[in-house]
């Protein structure tokens, strides 16, 4: 039990690494928060920094969630027999997502959390039986709506709303269903400004800049 609090803090700090902000500073000498949507995430990074760096940011943000749930989760599970493995990994994953969304390194203003949430779900799928089918349908949903609409934000919100539905349809545990509802709320709240711009007809579609 003594390892749980340090693990929670570590997971939060892993999630808090502002990848897009760091890449903007290192490779372009700019503060990504002052350009585009102002969001510290992969989509804004792709618009500002180009496709190559944007995709790298996306992969690293996904990896943060995967790292927390799988590697940190594995270590924590070995140290504690008092809490179910699934619950431990969920707690670690949520802390990582919160770190990305509200990073301590940027005055608690972070990204939207979609990529890191995806990484957390991949990690959970690697350790929890039956979750991969939910993840597969979630990916399919995101790509389908992105290809139709070309709005990353809208595809992300629709996928977030779909998550609890898929969890229920594929008979996941009550804990996972409740957590999926929380994650869906996270996605919606973090995309409020995007949804407002979308309904006003001002939300930009994603275009790929080759740099």
Nearest alpha carbon to residue 91 among 16, 10, 173, 8:
8
pLDDT digits (tens, 9 = 90+) for 143-196: 999 999 999 999 999 999 999 999 999 999 999 999 999 999 999 999 999 999
The stretches in the chain having pLDDT less than 50 are: 211
- The structure tokens 């927390």 sit at 68
Nearest alpha carbon to residue 95 among 194, 6, 1, 208:
6
Longest dimension (CA), the chain: 52
Cβ 115 vs Cβ 58: under 8 Å = yes
Residues 9, 14: Cα–Cα separation, whole Å = 9
Cβ 152 vs Cβ 146: under 8 Å = yes
Query: Residue ranges of the alpha helices (H) in the chain?
Result: 4-16, 19-23, 42-49, 51-66, 73-79, 85-101, 114-127, 132-149, 152-169, 174-190, 192-199
In the prediction, which pLDDT does 211 show? Answer: 47
CA 55 vs. chain centroid, Å, equals 14
In the prediction, which pLDDT does 30 show? Answer: 94
What is the domain partition of the chain in residue ranges? 4-199
Please enumerate in sequence order all residues whose Cβ is within 8 A of that of 4, keeping only pairs 6 or more positions apart, or say none.
76, 80, 83, 88, 91
The token duo for 23 is 């890449």
Residues 115, 20: Cα–Cα separation, whole Å = 12
In the prediction, which pLDDT does 207 show? Answer: 65
């Amino acid at each position: 039990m003594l390892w749980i609090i340090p693990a929670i803090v570590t997971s939060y700090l892993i999630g808090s690494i502002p990848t897009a902000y760091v890449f903007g500073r290192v490779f372009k000498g700019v503060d990504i928060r002052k350009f585009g949507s102002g969001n510290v995430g992969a989509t804004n990074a792709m618009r500002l920094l180009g496709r190559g760096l944007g995709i790298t940011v996306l992969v690293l943000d996904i990896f943060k969630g995967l790292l927390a749930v799988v590697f940190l989760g594995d270590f924590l599970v070995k140290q504690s027999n008092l809490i179910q493995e699934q619950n431990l990994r969920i707690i670690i994953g949520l802390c990582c997502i919160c770190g990305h969304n509200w990073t301590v390194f940027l005055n608690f203003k972070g990204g939207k959390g979609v990529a890191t949430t995806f990484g957390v779900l991949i990690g959970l799928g690697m350790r929890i039986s039956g979750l991969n089918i939910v993840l597969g349908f979630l990916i399919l949903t995101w790509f389908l709506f992105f290809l139709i609409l070309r709005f990353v934000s809208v595809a992300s919100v629709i996928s977030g709303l779909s998550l609890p539905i898929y969890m229920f349809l594929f008979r996941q545990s009550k804990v996972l269903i409740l957590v999926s509802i929380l994650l869906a709320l996270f996605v919606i709240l973090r995309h409020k400004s995007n949804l407002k711009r979308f309904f006003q007809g001002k939300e930009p579609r994603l275009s790929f800049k080759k740099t």
